[in-house]
Chain A
């Protein structure tokens, strides 16, 4: 998985609790992305980062925040988890603009009860 790890791999949490998912890369790639995967929707971009402390919103950013204090780590936080945020979350990385390929991590399955 191209030097990308995600933690935790599985999590069950209750509605209203905060949750933080971590993506860690060893590739020193500039760009990092968080997607969620839901049946019938493919993968949808939540937030992305184009450098340390440089982040922006994606297609489905409501209810999520991110932070990137180091090149290798990109954190996704659900401030107050809701059942609609039950999903599989994937982190991806990409080199600079010379390469368009994105490499995906193994995913985190999050269940909000």
Chain B
């Protein structure tokens, strides 16, 4: 069962353009939504993350938009650069509850390969 669905699978954008990647989730217990960036031959690295109590979070050229009622969130990369070319993963995490039973078990989307042409 795929609890986090990510689209598109691949995306090609011209330098200076806007890249948009979308994710939808099913489990309403999720309360932390990170985006990871992965370059070839490397492990994923946290890019930006959001909690469901806010609708938007911006860090430099990267923005997460969150729609709790629709159970969707998206990553926007403004002024996309060739150096942004990478694979992007959305993910979702239930809370570290008092019993500690979730233990930080991330559920990832399928990934989006972003290519930014110069």
Contact = CB atoms under 8 A, between A and B. Distances in A.
A58 B46 contact: no
A44 B46 CA distance: 16
13 contacts: A1-B42, A1-B43, A33-B106, A41-B110, A43-B89, A43-B106, A50-B103, A56-B103, A59-B107, A100-B93, A100-B96, A102-B106, A107-B42
Contacts of B42: 1, 106-107
A59 B91 CA distance: 14
Report the contact-size class of chain A (Cβ under 8 Å from the partner).
Answer: 20 to 34
Interface of A: 1, 4, 31, 33, 35, 40-45, 48, 50, 56, 58-59, 90, 92, 94, 97, 100-107
- CB-based closest 8 A-B pairs: A104-B43, A97-B96, A42-B108, A43-B108, A42-B110, A50-B103, A42-B111, A100-B32
A42 B35 CA distance: 12
A45 B91 CA distance: 12
Given A42-B109, A42-B110, A102 B46 contact: yes
B104 A102 contact: yes
A94 B109 CA distance: 20
Contacts, number: 66
Nearest to A94: B104
B12 interface: no
A43 B45 CA distance: 13
A107 B42 CA distance: 7
B16 to A, nearest CB: 28
A15 to B, nearest CB: 26
A45 B37 CA distance: 18
Contacts of A40: 9, 110
B103 A42 contact: no
